[in-house]
A and B are shown apart, each in its own frame.
Chain A
Amino acid sequence: MSIHTKTLAELALGLRNKEFSSVELTRALLARIEAAQPTLNALVSITQDGAFAQAAAADREIASGRGSTLTGVPILHKDLFCTEGVRTTCGSRMLDNFIAPYDATVVAKLKAAGTVMLGKTNMDEFAMGSSNETSFYGPVRNPWNVELVPGGSSGGSAAAVAARLAPAATATDTGGSIRQPAALCGVTGFKPTYGRVSRYGMIAFASSLDQGGVICASAEDAAIVLRAMAGFDPRDSTSVDRPVPDYVAALQMPLSGLKIGLLKEFFDAGLDAQNERRIREALALYERLGARLQEVSLPNLPLSVPAYYVVAPAECSSNLARFDGVRFGYRCEQPRDLTDLYRRSRGEGFGAEVKRRIMTGTYVLSAGYYDAYYLKAQKVRRLIADDFDRAFAQVDVLMGPTTPTAAFELGSKTADPITMYLNDIYTIGANLAGLPAVSVPCGFAGNLPVGLQIIGPHFAEERLLNAAHGYQRETDWHSRVPPGWD
């Protein structure tokens, strides 16, 4: 077995048993990253020097008998997490020259746990996109078929893990940006409960929806990383002060008696027939493992996309007001006056989709429209969250597809924003309600991976990881590597 096809759990064990050193592992993965870059474009920055320094330090820790599970394990960070002294672009021309002056809490925690940062992953600009085509640094390509998109916005993280360039990559999810690319790339993507992982140092898109998480090959690997990422952070006023359970210990609980709700609204006319078959096969397997299935209806869920495309742009237009060409980021040449400085720095520094969302947000927040759009959307958001609450009074988890279809061709959905937005039709609900959710590979539609989505109540991370791991013990979809990348 090649070193790069080992899971994170296997790599961690190999490091501890001194089968290989962190420097050797780092060298092997950096070589894969370099070789893959012209094809996949999964990274914005490769941090080779820092990686070797961190790996050497990790090897010294391991040699002295210290260190934790993650000591010496190489990972990637989405280029939305601030990394001290390292360029942090958020996929935008606006931040092309931005060197973060501090670490995001997630980065600091994973650094303290001994991980080695190999680089920063490509993404949709400011995390606004579902195909990774809005990046200033060009699209990421799907390792299963390089003519197809990897999904977005964490497309670089998903493609890199799928191509086995790294065993784990951090990611963020505002409307599906962890789960949707994980599904399209055949990897496991975990979005925790809102407030479970600190947002400090995560460049903000929509602050009431954004949540950091992780993309890995398996749920077991996700549990290991999440255990190190999660936790209370006084620097994030929405961070939740409650202890982090041992997610790894929770993996072994049996699935018998698990009550699964089939999300009726997710099996709609938009769901591709092959994807639906794979999802129903996965549900049948859960039933054989002792779980009980029942259909559950969330009548307001079809309004998720409209509600999201008011709430998220509104928060985006407020958050992105900070990019003014004055304190950091892009500044236009020869501004005539202060207003010209703002207008041209922003007009030239932001890409088309970011400008579209800022303008949508500005409009729905403007005088005369605030009640009709913004307040209305916040009320519908409440109805959707109440639907989830009622469902979780009956079942332990909800299941359905992560996406309506498998990966699609580059350029095929860029002409009409609505077509693109509808890719997230099954993922947005969990963000609006702040719920944890995971996408798990569950087979193929043709040659392309399909993702099963599992959604749980607030802070049910253990239950979700357990349900995902129980499925992955019985199947090998999560260990399939795209042809040519094995």
Chain B
Amino acid sequence: MADTSLDAAQIGAIAHLARLDLRPAEVPVYQDSLSRILSLVGELERADTGGVTPMAHPLSGSVQRLREDHVTERDHHERYQLNAPRVEAALYLVPKVIE
């Protein structure tokens, strides 16, 4: 983790994983800033975390609740689909996936 600099190919791979289309001019910008961020977070190495349990939630000991499995909401799809870019017959339209 000592060398935190990323090359253009790595930025391209991260952008693909994140499904982000980058313009060519953006690549060196993110190369520079992500490398700096990784250098900053590299300071974490200094901490002795042997035997420490990772903390995923700020209120330790709290358990995520479950509720009874019964219907509480009515069907609102028409209202929700008002925000959809393309809808037909209550279905969200996307480019053809299977030929």
Contact = CB atoms under 8 A, between A and B. Distances in A.
A194 B58 contact: yes
B33 A417 contact: yes
B62 to A, nearest CB: 7
B65 A434 contact: no
A380 interface: yes
Nearest to B47: A380
A412 to B, nearest CB: 17
Contacts of A98: 83
Contacts of B97: 337-338
Contacts of B23: 347
Interface string B21-52: 11100100110011011101111111101001
A237 B22 CA distance: 36
Contacts of A348: 21
B44 A326 contact: no
Contact of A101 (B1, B30, B40, B76): B76
A340 B52 contact: no
A328 B40 CA distance: 35
Contacts of A444: none
A465 interface: no
Nearest to A421: B40
Contacts of A99: 82-83
B47 A373 contact: no
Question: Which of B37, B45, B79, B86 lies at the interface centre, i.e. has the most chain A CB atoms within 10 A of its CB?
Answer: B37
Interface stretch (A38-46, A150-158, A357-365): A357-365
A9 interface: no
A381 B58 CA distance: 9
Contacts of A372: 1
Contacts of B96: 337
A480 B22 CA distance: 46
Given A376-B44, A380-B49, A208 B14 contact: no
A482 interface: no
Contact of A363 (B20, B34, B54): B34
B89 interface: no
Nearest to B63: A237
A237 B57 CA distance: 12
Contacts, number: 178
A350 B21 CA distance: 10
Interface string A439-453: 000000000000000
A335 B95 contact: yes
A385 B42 CA distance: 20
A289 B37 CA distance: 44
A327 B84 contact: yes
Contacts of A194: 58-59
Contacts of B80: 101, 327-328
A240 interface: yes
Nearest to B76: A101
A378 interface: yes
Contact of B95 (A97, A338, A358): A338
Contacts of A328: 80, 83-85
Contacts of B18: 317, 346, 355, 358-359, 362
A294 interface: no
A298 interface: no
B56 interface: yes
Contacts of A432: 58
Contact of B20 (A310, A343, A373): A343
A300 B47 contact: yes
Contacts of A363: 14, 34, 38
Interface in A339-379: 339-344, 346-348, 350, 352, 355-356, 358-360, 362-364, 366, 372-373, 375-379
Given A328-B84, A363-B34, A372-B1, A346 B62 contact: no
B54 A379 contact: yes
Given A363-B14, A372-B1, A303 B58 contact: no
Given A238-B57, A339-B19, A327 B92 contact: yes
Interface in A287-316: 300, 303, 305-307, 309-310
B9 interface: no
Interface string A375-405: 1111111110100000000000000000000
A343 B19 contact: yes
A373 B19 contact: no
Interface of B: 1, 11, 14-23, 26, 29-30, 33-34, 36-38, 40-47, 49, 52-60, 62, 64-65, 67, 76, 79-80, 82-86, 92, 94-97
10 contacts: A195-B59, A303-B44, A326-B92, A343-B21, A346-B18, A347-B20, A352-B29, A358-B20, A359-B14, A417-B37
The 8 closest A-B pairs by CB, nearest first: A434-B58, A347-B21, A378-B54, A331-B85, A379-B49, A343-B21, A382-B55, A328-B83
